[in-house]
Structure 1
Amino acid sequence: MVLPTDEAQARRDYRYKEWRGRDGRTYCRKSNGTTGLIVGGVGGALAGRAIDTRGDRTTGTVLGAAAGALLGKEIDSKRRCR
């Protein structure tokens, strides 16, 4: 984890979402998508289970969880600094 050591390098944002490094490049802290993966997986599993009403509903639950996890990770890991 890289954090600016002096105030001149950091922007005024107290969470340091974006900062300029020693090499002059702008860096951005972004989510790795873990929260979206978990929330999407749970939501997708519930939706898949509700849609698949025949039999034991395992197929709908598993497919919904996989699709929800992929979608949730993609949404959560978008760059948000700019």
Structure 2
Amino acid sequence: MRNLLMVIAAAGLIVPPAAMSFPTKAEAKEKKHRAYTYRRGGRTYCRHSDGTTGLIVGGVGGAVVGNSVDNGGLLGTALGAVGGAFAGRAVDRTLTANKRCR
């Protein structure tokens, strides 16, 4: 217990809470905008979502639904996984479309 209190006291001396700063709304907006752009050779390019997260989540979800619809059959699971993967990728790309560069 004593060692724990000493570690907490030492951490408080190293990083006092008053020294921490929080970004303003303008800084947060600028940082968010920079996350979707990058520069190379003097030109600005946009980062685009490839839909991988939606592909994986949709595939797993589709496999579960297909398995339950087909009562444990392999065909239902496979078709559900493929359909869910395509649908999940499309949804992921659609939801992130407004966050891309214009």
Q: Same fold (TM over 0.5)?
A: yes
Q: Of Structure 1 and Structure 2, which has the larger fraction of its residues in helix?
A: 2
| Structure 2 residue corresponding to 1:50, chosen from 35, 43, 68 | 68
Report what 1:34 is aligned to: 52
- The alpha-carbon deviation at position 27 of structure 1 amounts to 5.2
TM-score (norm 2): 0.53
Hey, what's the Cα distance between the residues in 2 that align with 1:58 and 1:12? Answer: 49
Q: Deviations over 1:31-71 (max 9, x none)?
A: 10111111100000000000112xx5001000000100000
Q: Structure 2 unaligned segments of length 5 or more: list them.
A: 1-28
Ranked by relative contact order (alpha carbons within 8 Å, sequence separation 6 or more), the top structure is: 1
Report what 1:62 is aligned to: 78
CA RMSD, Structure 1 to Structure 2 (Å):
2.5
Aligned length: 68
Report what 2:35 is aligned to: 16
Specify the structure having the higher radius of gyration (Cα).
2
Hey, what's the Cα distance between the residues in 2 that align with 1:57 and 1:16? Answer: 43
Report what 2:89 is aligned to: 73
Code of the residue aligned with 1:45 in structure 2: it is A
Q: Structure 1 unaligned segments of length 5 or more: list them.
A: 1-10
Aligned-residue identity in percent: 47
User: Which stretches of structure 1, 4 residues or more, deviate above 4 A after TM superposition?
Assistant: none
